[in-house]
């Protein structure tokens, strides 16, 4: 009975076939394939896509509210120029852009240009870089475009991002694209809810696993005991019980509440991007969701990853990759047949999916694969010392799950020896990882050993190397901490309201070490500066604006503090940020 009700709810939140933005005229608009338009103008509906695009150097954006209907119930959304998602902005590297943003809402608003390197007062974070845009007011953003690639923009005001204020950015490189493609599609993933985000936040504060409909059952216990042995299973359940955590709690808000969108279109609506057989098609994939990690694959097609967070990487061909909230990946696919292919983006907890179609003609459709079986976290995921816990046979079982198709397991970096001293952070922290894992070859829970070639951070190598060849002169270590029951999130046990700004000295080269002491994946975003991820032995790997740290993992990256001013530094899971996992970074000139 439970599974029947769950599957019925899951099918419902795939949305209406025509679920879309409802304008005052009553027209329904889909949003999709890139088309070129005149400078600063709104594109009307294109052939089969209806994508709005603005291009040039001078833009006027209006933030307002309108009705949407994705599930059969009308709700108010926050939109830009009457669009959800907001219009695609197309810029050119080397230009200076001016964007005037007018607020038509009854509450303050803001726009942050995610991943852009720009002056601090143009960054768009109220209370940090500017005061925000008050009702009826207009703020003029003006900055040089020094980079190229795929980026996005979104509100940094309370929960406006959750209810629609996000849009893509494509910046054309001055010297042309390094990786040729015959066709180009932007895919912006997001999570829509009919529930007021303020209510979601209150429910999480009262019960952090309120939206988890997959708590482990007696049936799961019997299955695990059959597979791992009774003693190991009892021990495992005892430890989770002592921590007052649930191993199936992978995402705070699930597909039972969210309808997942691709370019503002529900799974039932089936956004479609066109191609001709034999073409190279570039897909610019942006995770603009508030709280969701997606695992993306296109059955029948391999994907060659050519850029991460807007930066070109050495091409890497995979079957699947995980994209955290705020991350961006560009991939190239080459359909060889005149048939439809499903773009399948399932949520990490396997409670729902976004989907679209690549096809040679509109109206075509391919089979949508079933959701993968849900997985749960292990004690190894939590950075626990399995031997010291006398965990019996389950330790071997946990680590056997780390086998990944196509990876050389000899390169795996196993947990570091425990120092014997764990930091204590006070009552707002419910656990500390005893032995944080340092491996970057692990694709994460739910992707290990699935028979597909899955991308990991260890596979990513930014072309042209680091932006700064200096060795770090200073190291900053931060623990990603939380208390699940109280739904408090923090750095080093301190919420934003309790913490002093982090000080970066202008011009210095830093190493930032993040240790995730929680059971959640955290996408950490440093504004205004690049985060250059390094291997456990200190070698440069990849330049990113958002870095995902897995549960029980230690990860480090280098930062050049070349951007004076005040900057935001936070988890990009929206409710985690609002619950305290946020710091100010002050880059100070002596």
Grouping H, G, I as helix, E, B as strand and the rest as coil, residue 458 is helix
Q: What is the pLDDT of residue 204?
A: 95
Contact 452, 299 (CB under 8 A): no
Q: What is the pLDDT of residue 3?
A: 40
Q: What residues form DSSP beta bridges with 284? A: 186, 330
Burial class (CB in 10 A: 0-12, 13-18, 19+), 174: exposed
Instruction: Indicate the pairing of strand 353-359 with strand 271-274.
Output: parallel
DSSP, res 548: E
Is pLDDT at 398 greater than 70 in this prediction?
Answer: no
Which has the minimum average pLDDT: 47-56, 200-209, 557-566?
47-56
Residue with the larger pLDDT of the pair 209 and 297: 297
DSSP, res 141: E
How far apart, in whole angstroms, are the C-alpha atoms of residue 518 and residue 485? 12
Which has the minimum average pLDDT: 112-121, 371-380, 386-395, 552-561?
386-395
Contact 345, 295 (CB under 8 A): yes
Is pLDDT at 291 greater than 80 in this prediction?
Answer: yes
Is pLDDT at 400 greater than 90 in this prediction?
Answer: no
Residue 221 — pLDDT band, cuts 50, 70, 90? Answer: very low
Is pLDDT at 424 greater than 60 in this prediction?
Answer: yes
Q: What is the pLDDT of residue 110?
A: 98
Taking the CA atoms of the chain, what radius of gyration do you get in angstroms? 23
Tokens of 441: 């070859």
Contact 293, 251 (CB under 8 A): yes
CA distances (Å), origin 513, targets 18, 215, 477: 46, 33, 5
Using one digit for the tens of pLDDT, what is the confidence trace for 174-197?
999 999 999 999 999 999 999 999
pLDDT average, residue stretch 274-294: 97
Instruction: Using the structure block, give the residue that is written with the tokens 């070859």.
Output: 441
Largest CA distance in the chain: 68
Residue 71 — pLDDT band, cuts 50, 70, 90? Answer: very high
Cβ contacts of 160 within 8 Å, gap of 6 or more: 78, 109
How far apart, in whole angstroms, are the C-alpha atoms of residue 412 and residue 475? 24
Q: How many other CB atoms sit within 10 Å of the CB of residue 428?
A: 17
Q: What is the pLDDT of residue 431?
A: 83
How far apart, in whole angstroms, are the C-alpha atoms of residue 360 and residue 181? 16
Burial class (CB in 10 A: 0-12, 13-18, 19+), 381: buried
Question: How far from chain centre, in Å, is Cα 471?
Answer: 29
Using one digit for the tens of pLDDT, what is the confidence trace for 522-546?
999 999 999 999 999 999 999 999 9
Using one digit for the tens of pLDDT, what is the confidence trace for 127-153?
999 999 999 999 999 999 999 999 999
Q: What is the pLDDT of residue 26?
A: 30
Contact 304, 321 (CB under 8 A): no
What the chain holds in terms of domains, given with CATH numbers, is 2-178 (2.60.40.420), 377-444+465-590 (2.60.40.420)
Is cis: bond before 85, omega within 30 of 0?
Answer: yes
Q: What is the pLDDT of residue 376?
A: 83
Q: What is the pLDDT of residue 43?
A: 29
Is pLDDT at 24 greater than 50 in this prediction?
Answer: no
How far apart, in whole angstroms, are the C-alpha atoms of residue 292 and residue 325? 6
Contact 108, 139 (CB under 8 A): no
- The listed range with the strongest mean pLDDT (318-332, 396-410, 432-446) is 318-332
Residue 211 — pLDDT band, cuts 50, 70, 90? Answer: confident
Closest CA to 480 of 513, 441, 502, 457: 513
3-state helix, strand, coil in the chain (%, to 5): 10, 35, 55
Instruction: Using the structure block, give the residue that is written with the tokens 């200096």.
Output: 470
CA distances (Å), origin 372, targets 171, 319, 375, 450: 35, 14, 9, 9
Instruction: Using the structure block, give the residue that is written with the tokens 């190291």.
Output: 475
Contact 405, 452 (CB under 8 A): yes
Give the count of alpha carbons within 13 A of 550, CB side only. Answer: 24
Residue with the larger pLDDT of the pair 11 and 226: 226
Residue 35 — pLDDT band, cuts 50, 70, 90? Answer: very low
Burial class (CB in 10 A: 0-12, 13-18, 19+), 22: middle
Cβ contacts of 234 within 8 Å, gap of 6 or more: 225
Q: What is the pLDDT of residue 343?
A: 98
pLDDT average, residue stretch 364-388: 79
Residue with the larger pLDDT of the pair 302 and 392: 302
Residue 363 — pLDDT band, cuts 50, 70, 90? Answer: very high
Calculate ∠ Cα 29-30-32, nearest 5°: 140
Give the count of alpha carbons within 13 A of 469, CB side only. Answer: 2
Contact 514, 555 (CB under 8 A): yes
Q: What is the pLDDT of residue 239?
A: 58
Is pLDDT at 50 greater than 70 in this prediction?
Answer: no
Residue 247 — pLDDT band, cuts 50, 70, 90? Answer: low
Which has the minimum average pLDDT: 391-400, 422-431, 520-529?
391-400
Is pLDDT at 218 greater than 90 in this prediction?
Answer: no
pLDDT average, residue stretch 208-224: 63
Q: What is the pLDDT of residue 212?
A: 78
Is pLDDT at 409 greater than 60 in this prediction?
Answer: no
Which has the minimum average pLDDT: 164-178, 190-204, 368-382?
368-382
Cβ contacts of 97 within 8 Å, gap of 6 or more: 57, 58, 59, 91, 141, 142, 143, 145
How far apart, in whole angstroms, are the C-alpha atoms of residue 515 and residue 526? 16
* Cα end-to-end distance, the chain, whole Å: 66
Closest CA to 444 of 456, 452, 453, 434: 456
Average pLDDT over all residues of the chain = 85
Using one digit for the tens of pLDDT, what is the confidence trace for 447-464?
999 999 999 999 999 999
Q: What are the helix (H) ranges across 195-354?
A: 197-206, 218-228, 230-243
Residue 17 — pLDDT band, cuts 50, 70, 90? Answer: confident
Which has the minimum average pLDDT: 217-226, 289-298, 326-335, 454-463?
217-226
Residue 428 — pLDDT band, cuts 50, 70, 90? Answer: confident
Contact 345, 260 (CB under 8 A): yes
Residue with the larger pLDDT of the pair 6 and 495: 495
């Amino acid at each position: 009975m439970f599974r029947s009700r769950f599957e019925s709810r899951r099918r419902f939140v795939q949305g209406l076939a025509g679920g879309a933005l409802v304008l005052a005229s009553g027209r329904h608009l889909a949003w999709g394939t890139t088309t070129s338009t005149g400078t600063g103008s709104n594109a009307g509906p294109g052939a089969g896509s209806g994508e709005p695009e603005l291009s040039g150097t001078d833009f006027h954006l209006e933030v307002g509210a309108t009705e949407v209907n994705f599930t059969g119930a009308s709700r108010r959304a926050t939109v830009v120029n009457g669009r959800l998602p907001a219009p695609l902005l197309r810029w050119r590297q080397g230009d200076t852009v001016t964007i005037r943003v007018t607020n038509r809402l009854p509450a303050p608003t803001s726009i942050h240009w995610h991943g852009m390197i720009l002056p601090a007062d143009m960054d768009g974070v109220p209370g940090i870089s500017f005061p925000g845009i008050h009702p009826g007011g207009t703020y003029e953003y003006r900055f040089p475009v020094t980079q190229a690639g795929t980026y996005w923009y979104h509100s940094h005001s309370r929960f406006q991002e959750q209810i629609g204020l996000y849009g893509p950015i494509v910046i054309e490189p001055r010297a042309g694209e390094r990786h040729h493609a015959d066709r180009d599609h932007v895919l912006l993933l997001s999570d829509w809810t009919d529930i007021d985000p303020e209510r979601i936040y209150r429910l999480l504060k009262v019960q952090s696993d309120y939206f988890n409909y997959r708590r482990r059952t007696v049936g799961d216990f019997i299955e695990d005991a059959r597979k791992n042995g009774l003693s190991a299973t009892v021990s495992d359940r005892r430890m989770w019980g002592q921590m007052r955590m649930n191993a199936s709690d992978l995402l705070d808000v699930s597909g039972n509440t969210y309808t997942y969108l691709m370019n503002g279109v529900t799974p039932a609506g089936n956004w479609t991007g066109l191609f001709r057989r034999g073409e190279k098609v570039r897909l610019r994939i942006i995770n603009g969701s508030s709280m969701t990690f997606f695992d993306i694959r296109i059955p029948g097609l391999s994907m060659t990853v050519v850029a991460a967070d807007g930066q070109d990487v050495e091409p890497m061909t995979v079957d699947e990759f995980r994209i955290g909230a705020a991350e961006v990946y560009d991939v190239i696919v080459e359909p060889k047949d005149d048939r439809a292919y499903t773009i399948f983006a399932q949520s990490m907890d396997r409670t729902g999916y976004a989907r679209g179609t690549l096809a040679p003609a509109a109206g075509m459709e391919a089979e949508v694969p079933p959701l993968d079986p849900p997985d749960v976290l292990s004690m190894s995921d939590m950075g626990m010392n399995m031997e010291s816990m006398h965990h019996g046979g389950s330790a071997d079982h946990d680590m056997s799950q780390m086998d990944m198709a196509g990876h050389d397991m000899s390169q795996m970096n196993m947990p570091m020896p425990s120092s014997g001293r764990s930091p204590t952070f006070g009552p707002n922290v419910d656990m500390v990882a005893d032995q944080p894992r340092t491996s970057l070859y692990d694709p994460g829970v739910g992707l290990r050993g699935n028979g597909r070639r899955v991308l990991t951070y260890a596979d990513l190598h930014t072309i042209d190397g680091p932006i700064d060849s200096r060795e770090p002169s200073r190291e900053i270590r931060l623990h990603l901490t939380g208390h699940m029951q109280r739904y408090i999130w923090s750095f080093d046990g301190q919420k934003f309201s309790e913490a002093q700004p982090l000080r970066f000295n202008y011009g210095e080269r830093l190493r930032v070490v993040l240790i995730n002491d929680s059971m959640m994946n955290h996408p950490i975003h440093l504004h205004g500066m690049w985060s250059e991820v390094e291997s456990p032995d200190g070698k440069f790997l990849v330049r990113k604006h958002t870095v995902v740290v897995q549960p029980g993992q230690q990860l480090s990256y280098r930062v050049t503090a070349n951007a004076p001013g005040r900057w935001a530094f936070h988890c990009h899971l929206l409710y985690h940020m609002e619950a305290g996992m946020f710091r100010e970074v002050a880059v100070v000139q002596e």
